Amino acid sequence: MANILINLLPIEFRQAEIKRTKFNKVQAFGVAVILLMAFLASLTVALRILQSQRIFQTKNRLSQAEEKISSLKTVQGSLVLLKNRLKAIDQYLGTPSQQSQMYQLVIGLLPANAAVSSITVDKGGEVIILATVSDPSSLEDLTTNLLSRDKNQDKISQVALESINRGRDGIYRLSLKIKPKT
Amino acid sequence: MKKQEILKFYQAYRLYIFPLVVAFSSLILIIFVIYPQTVKLISDQQVAKETESKSTLLEVKAQELEEYDSADLKQKVDIALGAYPADKDFISAMGILQDIIAKSGFNVVAMSLGTSLATPNAQGYNLKVEIVGLQTLLLTLLSNIENSPRLMRISNIQAIGGKDSQATAISFNIDVLYAAAPEGFGSVDSPLPSLSEKDEEIIIKLARTSSTFGPAQVSVSPGPRGKANPFE
């Protein structure tokens, strides 16, 4: 046989009880929220304090390093100057100028029988040779050497025979203008 | 009486008043503490990171600078400045050139200041040199000049005489290079240039050639200049 439950309390009591239970829940939630907010606030403040301390220490280290570098400014200056000079020196030292290269090339291509009366290498690297050659084969050797890409190391762009004449002595006198490749 | 009224009012409406107080307090905490502190924390995090990296960089730089032997560095700078000085050094350059010419087997006939510079994008002055000697030795001379302890470039060559002639008259112009020193020598936080193996090789090469062809720089003693009273 089932039990029969009868609430004999007045209805106002029941409503007050429901209201109190509801408030208790709201109160618990509110306290939790306040606690959470307080925790977050103290956490951020603590982190900020720690961060400020770290920044302060780092700035101290920074200023110490800056002072040390300032005291070694002459060493830094010397190093910058040295590097600046060496960069330019490296560009030129041991690298022959175009004029030297052309002179070396042309002298190297002259056959044994050719005698140079005068050789001029101008600022643009253009070479003018006045030479005498005793026989036609040497003359041919000279022009072949100057015009051959393998022998002239592909450094000559143009060879102009300005003048040539053969004397009574059978010697060829010639004037050559050699233009370098730019 | 008033307190009791307030308590009665609270009891009646506490279900609404309490959440409102909690929300208001939370809002105050968020607006005045949590939000500004968090924003500052994030922005300072960047500052802290930058300061840390800068500090580490400068500490490394300071350590590197301390490791340099200043005497050795000064010697290297002297060698480099001897090869590529900051201003015109006619006397020193002419001395070196004369030494190179003599050691290469030629005799100097004349030496004078030339005209324009042929080396592109360079600062310098031109020297015109007239010499006498064997044309077969000219290549050695040109190589010695362009590998000398002072930066020089041949700008033109003129040789008159037979191939096997004993005394060929040779004249050539030489660009003697110099450049003004850099304006700034680097700030505290500018990166420190380091000397590479190639740089060391260049210094060794310059030192070797300067011992062969004499000192690159003529030291001038800072004695009294001219007369104290020019009217005496």
Q: Using the beta-carbon criterion (under 8 Å), do A82 and B77 form an inter-chain contact? A: yes
pLDDT band at residue B227, thresholds of 50, 70 and 90? Answer: low
Q: Using the beta-carbon criterion (under 8 Å), do B80 and A61 form an inter-chain contact? A: no
In tens, the pLDDT along A132-145 reads 988 888 888 888 88
Q: B7 and B60 share a domain? A: yes
pTM here is 0.72
Question: Which of these, A175, A178, A179, lies nearest to A130 by C-alpha position?
Answer: A175
Residues in a beta bridge with B168: B133
Flag whether B206 is in a domain: yes
Q: B155 and B208 share a domain? A: yes
Flag whether B131 is in a domain: yes
Q: What is the CATH number of the domain that holds B153?
A: 3.30.70.60
Q: Identify the domain boundary among B32, B67, B102.
A: B67
In tens, the pLDDT along B151-183 reads 999 999 999 875 455 678 999 999 999 988 888
Q: Could you tell me which residue, B222 or A138, shows the higher pLDDT?
A: A138
Taking CB atoms and an 8 Å cut-off, how many pairs form between chains A and B?
223
Distances from the Cα of B191 to the Cα of A110, B54, B62, B160, angstroms: 53, 11, 11, 53
Q: B50 and B23 share a domain? A: yes
Q: B163 and B122 share a domain? A: yes
Of the candidates A47, A61, A120, the beta carbon closest to that of B158 is on: A120
Q: B50 and B111 share a domain? A: no
Residue B206 forms contact with A (CB below 8 Å): yes
d(CA B122, CA B151): 11
Residue B117 forms contact with A (CB below 8 Å): no
Q: What is the pLDDT of residue B181?
A: 84
Domain span including residue B117: 85-180+202-212
| Cβ–Cβ under 8 Å, residues A93 and B202 | yes
In tens, the pLDDT along B190-208 reads 888 888 999 999 999 888 8
Contacts of B195 in chain A (CB under 8 A): 79, 82-83, 86
Q: What is the pLDDT of residue B218?
A: 44
Second-level CATH architecture of A98-180: 2-Layer Sandwich (3.30)
Residue A91 forms contact with B (CB below 8 Å): no
pLDDT average, residue stretch A36-59: 95
Of the candidates A88, A120, A123, the beta carbon closest to that of B84 is on: A88
Beta-carbon contacts of A56 under 8 Å, excluding residues fewer than 6 positions away, are none
Q: How many residues does chain A have?
A: 182
Q: Which two tokens stand for residue B185?
A: 């020598």
Q: Cα B65–B70–B74 angle (5° rounding)?
A: 125
For chain B, the domain total comes to 2
Of the candidates B30, B37, B139, the beta carbon closest to that of A48 is on: B37
Q: B38 and B135 share a domain? A: no
Q: B106 and B48 share a domain? A: no
Residue of A nearest to B82 (CA): A85
Flag whether B224 is in a domain: no
d(CA B67, CA A62): 19
Contacts of B44 in chain A (CB under 8 A): 48, 51-52, 55
Instruction: Look up the ipTM and state it.
Output: 0.75
Mean pLDDT, chain A, integer: 89
| Cβ–Cβ under 8 Å, residues B101 and B141 | yes
